[in-house]
Structure 1
Amino acid sequence: MPTDSTTPTRLAALYALYARLPERVRTGYWTRVVPVLTVLAVATHIPSFLRPVWSPDEGYLATQARMLADGGVLYDTVVDRKPPLLPWLYEACFSVFGSLSLWPLRTLAIVAHLATAVLLASIARGRWGNRAGAAAGGLYLLLSIGLSPEDTQAATFEVFMLPAMVAAFRYAERRRWLAAGIAVALCSLTKQTGGAVLLPVLWMLFQDARRRGVRWRPALLKIGFGFAVPIALVAAILTKPKGFLFWVVTGSGDYASLGGGAWWQMLGRALGNSAILAAAGLGFLLPLGRRLWLRYRAGRDLPSIGTSRGSTGDLWIWLVSSVVAVATGFHFFGHYYLQLMPPLVLLGVGAVSVSAISWRPVMAYSLVASFAFWVLAVAWPGEQLNQTTAVATAVAARSTPKDTVLVWGMHPELYWLSDRKPVTRYLTAGFLTNFSGGKGSADVGEQYSVADAWQTFDQEINAKGLPEIVVDDSGNAPYQPTLVPTIENLLDSHYDVVGAFGDTMVYRLRK
């Protein structure tokens, strides 16, 4: 058994190892900044571990991962309108750690936030100096929880998209065009709208070629090659090409259209989430607004300090492309706004760096705002989660692991929480009715489904048999069973009500 005397010996050995490190490593910039950013990343996202599931997207990904682990084929027997990288990541984590908890994904989400912060710090440091770099990393992490907790604490697409997005911008800054193209591809393979960062990458390419008087075509070919090869590899080899093309590219036209009405609802969500984000980042957005006002009054570009580029045009192009990406589909969900955070932080840091403004009020406000959102996440109401958990418990109690289940609604986490297999590849009613959260009742119904979805649904029912349990989670939505004859006939002909939880009904197959 080791004695207490071994402790000083081990400490001495560790200190000796530390002393042998080069001076620039022991006292270097990143050696001091990265540990602080790591602590901040963990602290701001501790609430993410307080709930089994934060959003339907997490539930969808978790259910997808289980289906893939059971032999499902992505974009064939397992479908979604999103690219494949995150479903594969969920599947890999489940294969290593089991599928009963999302803590491994939440941990990786913190790593993604940290990587984003470090990359932003690198960009800001190169433009405005060491202090600006540390501020950019810290401000991003404080801002990263500055929306509804359901949008910021979940391990979803936008979180894992951000590191590749910022890396693409950073590589373009350094004229590493092939790497920039690859980073844009990885970003797009996480979520389609991540490809919007290609616009500032191309803008920087043409600006660089114009300033230096060099040809831009070779660099453009490098970007195109780096972008096309990973996507072609995934589409043609790792998935089914036809399925990938439909589900990721061409099959979301109706979902991402202006149809569906509810204009005031969409406008309210857009303005509401914009206001929340602005309040969270007011500490650095006010200096940015002040500088824009001074620039407007001066009628010219104000001089920049500490940057060789002399302007922030590339950052504004990045922000505009991100705004377009957020608006795509006209849903304006809160988690979409995560894509705006990196360029906003850099623009704010730049404005403070080149102005006679102290960092103290900027950081103080950001800390207070972040703490408020942290408290909000800890105290976030759990009524919906409690109801969903009660429904999942009832489903598990009234079925066996061999039985299949149909959840008629927009809460696919019920499959994962109940540990039951879905009877169909369509995990939400949206695929069969064209309903999407946040839009109205127009263009919703059986006739608006994904192409051939109902035929596929019938084939799955015939092959697997009727599901043992049907959960009607539609409430008063425009796809409730009374408005969808196929589901209404199915319930009337074969099922009895065995439970009611608020507006959610649980049906069991009639014996």
Structure 2
Amino acid sequence: MPTTTHRLAALTERLPARVRTGYWTRVVPVLALLAVITHIPSFLRPVWSPDEGFLATQARMLADGGVLYDTVVDRKPPLLPWLYEACFTVFGSLSLWPLRSLAIVAHLVTAILLASIARGRWGNRAGAAAGALYLLLSIGLSPEDTQAATFEVFMLPAMVAAFRYAERRRWLAAGIAVALCSLTKQTGGAVMLPVLWMLFQDSRRRGVRWMPALFKIWFGFALPIALVAVILTKPKGFLFWVVTGSGDYASFGGAWVQMAGRALGNSAILLGAGLGLVLPLGQRLWLKYRHRPLPAAGEERGSTADLWVWLLSSVVAVSVGFHFFGHYYLQLMPPLVLLGVGAVSTSAIRWKPVMIYSTAAATAFWVLAVAWPGERLDRTTEVATAVAAQTTPKDTVLVWGMHPELYWLADRRPATRYLTAGFLTNFSGGKDGSQNVGEKYSVTDAWQTFDAELLANGLPEIVVDDSGPAPYQPFLVPRIENLLDTHYEMVGVFTDTVVYRLKR
């Protein structure tokens, strides 16, 4: 009697030979294994970043009947909050492992798309190298930026897909991909620049009209956004929170020394992680600048101007708002990988040193992620445990700070739709020294809404002052200072985090 193994073997034999032994059949499983290995550390911590905590808390509020861009607010587009909500509905909200698993899938899809682009330009070996090198580079920043299931990770597949569709002159699909990218994070829309560049270059080379293709791009881009803005959310709320309401948050002012340090620091980390690709690329540019013949193994196949436009658009996207958080730099990785792969593929440089260095760098970042210190998480968990012990599931909590993961870890409902003090003070973690912090710099009508929520729902049972030395400490924000002095008493201190309980 045939066993299951024999049945599977017989079924495999019936598959076409090109499926059993084809390029993608061999490459995809290797990339999948590499994607899992590089991101195993993501499962070692309950939460890696405040963004994960914000999204998890948002998802719980949405599951409890909250309305996005009304009673649940953020300055981000809706696709990722909805994805978190869907995962919580299916798997429960006690762990982020489903989102971390989907993040690995997102990295894998990104790697496969990059492999497809590189294979079409420089051959099979370049395609496999591009996919593998992206996955190795994808953990080449601080673990808090690369192991978390955040906006940039889920933005990348649509971003690379938009470029790939444009490369193949599938303009409608390219526009839809740009829209999906923008609906994950606004700066993902920067990939529209290389898409348009490829459109006009293609029209010039082929001598055809570009207007019909441009219409397809903009129609594909506008339709999903209109569907989300008009039908799936409230148009006015979507417009404010996603488009017009982030002006002060993304302003030019701030602590210049701090911002420059963060920009240079994260650039240096990424440069170190991708040095195996950057050096061949630099050599190629230097030889071109010096007008020397390239040490080519064969004729160069195709221009890389579109890749440079893509990289430039990504640099602009990373710089918007002048925050320069590490996870923003994930957007630079796909075009950087393709440019590096192209430089190696069209020169006499061997693949072996490139792969050895990239593997060694990825191993160092992997070990760093496993050994990453957790003092902040330990303290937040300790505070969350104390909050949960002093409240019931029916009570509400106010966290006065920038770490909304405390709501999720404590499993308690927020007292307000504003999950961080940033909405009420214009404070941003990327601009700690900004002078434009205080009550008068809040989101429009935020304090009136805040007061109305407390009046309608009652004062929160617990207030956690997590401001530390930040410029929005309670004594600098009269409304919060008056709230604490009038209605609350101190019940615990955890380093520079203070817990207050409602007076009886």
Normalised-by-shorter TM-score class: over 0.9
Gap runs ≥5 in structure 2: none
Give, in angstroms, the shift of residue 371 of structure 1.
Answer: 0.3
Give, in angstroms, the shift of residue 302 of structure 1.
Answer: 9.2
**Where does 1:308-387 land on structure 2 (aligned, <5 Å)?**
308=301, 310-387=302-379
- Distance in 1, matches of 2:293 and 2:458, equals 71
Aligned to 2:474: 481
Which residue, out of 246, 255, 279, partners 1:286? 279
Instruction: Verify: 1:89 aligned to 2:83, yes or no.
Output: yes
Give, in angstroms, the shift of residue 11 of structure 1.
Answer: 1.2
TM-score by length of 2: 0.98
Contact 2:253-2:434 at 8 Å conserved across structures: no
Contact 1:409-1:428 at 8 Å conserved across structures: yes
Aligned to 1:80: 74
Contact 2:466-2:496 at 8 Å conserved across structures: yes
Give, in angstroms, the shift of residue 438 of structure 1.
Answer: 2.0
Contact 1:167-1:180 at 8 Å conserved across structures: yes
TM-score by length of 1: 0.97
Contact 1:304-1:311 at 8 Å conserved across structures: no
- Distance in 1, matches of 2:82 and 2:495, equals 35
Instruction: Verify: 1:239 aligned to 2:230, yes or no.
Output: no
- Distance in 1, matches of 2:42 and 2:239, equals 34
Instruction: Verify: 1:468 aligned to 2:466, yes or no.
Output: no
Aligned to 2:29: 35
- Compared CA separation, residues 358 and 299, structure 1 to 2 (3 A): closer
Gap runs ≥5 in structure 1: 1-5
CA deviation map 1:78-131 (0-9, x unaligned):
000000000000000000000000000000000000000000000000000000
Which residue, out of 58, 61, 69, partners 1:64? 58
- Compared CA separation, residues 497 and 135, structure 1 to 2 (3 A): same
| Amino acid aligned to 1:112 | A
Contact 2:297-2:348 at 8 Å conserved across structures: no
- Distance in 2, matches of 1:412 and 1:29, equals 45
Contact 2:141-2:270 at 8 Å conserved across structures: yes
Aligned to 2:256: 263
Give, in angstroms, the shift of residue 38 of structure 1.
Answer: 0.2
Aligned to 2:437: 444
- Distance in 2, matches of 1:366 and 1:302, equals 23
DSSP 3-state at the match of 1:471: strand
| Amino acid aligned to 1:223 | I
Instruction: Verify: 1:455 aligned to 2:448, yes or no.
Output: yes
Give, in angstroms, the shift of residue 311 of structure 1.
Answer: 1.0
Which residue, out of 151, 170, 175, partners 1:176? 170
CA deviation map 1:227-250 (0-9, x unaligned):
000000000000000000000000
- Compared CA separation, residues 331 and 305, structure 1 to 2 (3 A): farther
Superposition misfits of 4+ residues, deviation over 6 angstroms: 299-304
| Amino acid aligned to 1:359 | W
**Where does 1:40-439 land on structure 2 (aligned, <5 Å)?**
40-260=34-254, 262-298=255-291, 308=301, 310-439=302-431
CA deviation map 1:308-361 (0-9, x unaligned):
5x2100000000000000000000000000000000000000000000011000
Contact 2:287-2:294 at 8 Å conserved across structures: no
- Distance in 1, matches of 2:428 and 2:108, equals 32
Give, in angstroms, the shift of residue 54 of structure 1.
Answer: 0.2
| Amino acid aligned to 1:465 | G
> Sequence identity of aligned pairs in percent?
83
- Distance in 2, matches of 1:441 and 1:468, equals 31
DSSP 3-state at the match of 1:438: helix
Give, in angstroms, the shift of residue 441 of structure 1.
Answer: 3.4
- Distance in 2, matches of 1:273 and 1:239, equals 35
Aligned to 1:3: none
Give, in angstroms, the shift of residue 304 of structure 1.
Answer: 9.7
| Amino acid aligned to 1:475 | G
Which range is displaced more, 293-302 or 243-252? 293-302
- Distance in 1, matches of 2:248 and 2:429, equals 13
Give, in angstroms, the shift of residue 10 of structure 1.
Answer: 1.6
Contact 1:295-1:302 at 8 Å conserved across structures: no
- Distance in 1, matches of 2:293 and 2:64, equals 62
- Distance in 2, matches of 1:340 and 1:414, equals 31
- Distance in 1, matches of 2:179 and 2:19, equals 33
Give, in angstroms, the shift of residue 299 of structure 1.
Answer: 7.2
Give, in angstroms, the shift of residue 301 of structure 1.
Answer: 9.1
Give, in angstroms, the shift of residue 307 of structure 1.
Answer: 6.4
Contact 2:151-2:184 at 8 Å conserved across structures: yes
- Compared CA separation, residues 304 and 83, structure 1 to 2 (3 A): farther
Give, in angstroms, the shift of residue 71 of structure 1.
Answer: 0.5
| Amino acid aligned to 1:507 | Y
- Distance in 1, matches of 2:36 and 2:98, equals 14
